[in-house]
Amino acid sequence: MQLKQENGFQLVPEEIEIKEPKRTRAIIIDNPANPTGAVYSKKVLEKIAGLAIENDLLILSDEAYEKFVYKGKHISISSLNGMQDYVLTLHSFSKTYGMAGFRVGYAAGPKKVRGCPFVS
């Protein structure tokens, strides 16, 4: 999906099309987004969350730049009601603390990650 300046470089949930529902396992979002700096609104996140629940999809939420918000407010999609079982949040120490080259981060999410055969 192409992000457009007139939409504030945010996803437009109504334009998300799941072309192969039987094969689709996850939605990947980058919030706040790099390099645009776009921060998804709660309304957009709620619509993406609805898509995930409706289609039983995991959301991989890259939030490595959550400490670098200069306009707006960062809201984690995992903080929305009922999303704790649908979201795997990815964070980075490397970005947040200026540890270039270290590539250190972590993931937080449910004990059993939906659609993932490697985690039980």
pLDDT tens-digit series, residues 45-103: 999 999 999 998 999 999 988 888 888 899 999 999 989 889 999 998 888 787 878 88
pLDDT band at 118 (very low <50, low <70, confident <90, very high): low
What global pTM score does this model have? 0.83
Residue 119: per-residue pLDDT: 55
Domain residue ranges in the chain: 23-108
More confident residue, 115 or 67: 67
Topology of the domain comprising 23-108: Aspartate Aminotransferase; domain 2 (3.40.640)
Using CA atoms, how far residue 36 sits from 50, 60, 99, 103, 108, in Å, is 25, 19, 21, 21, 25
Contact 73, 103 (CB under 8 A): no
pLDDT of amino acid 7: 82
Return the pLDDT at 68: 86
Q: What is the mean pLDDT of the chain?
A: 85
In this structure, what DSSP letter does residue 64 have?
T
| Distance, CA of 45 to chain centre | 9
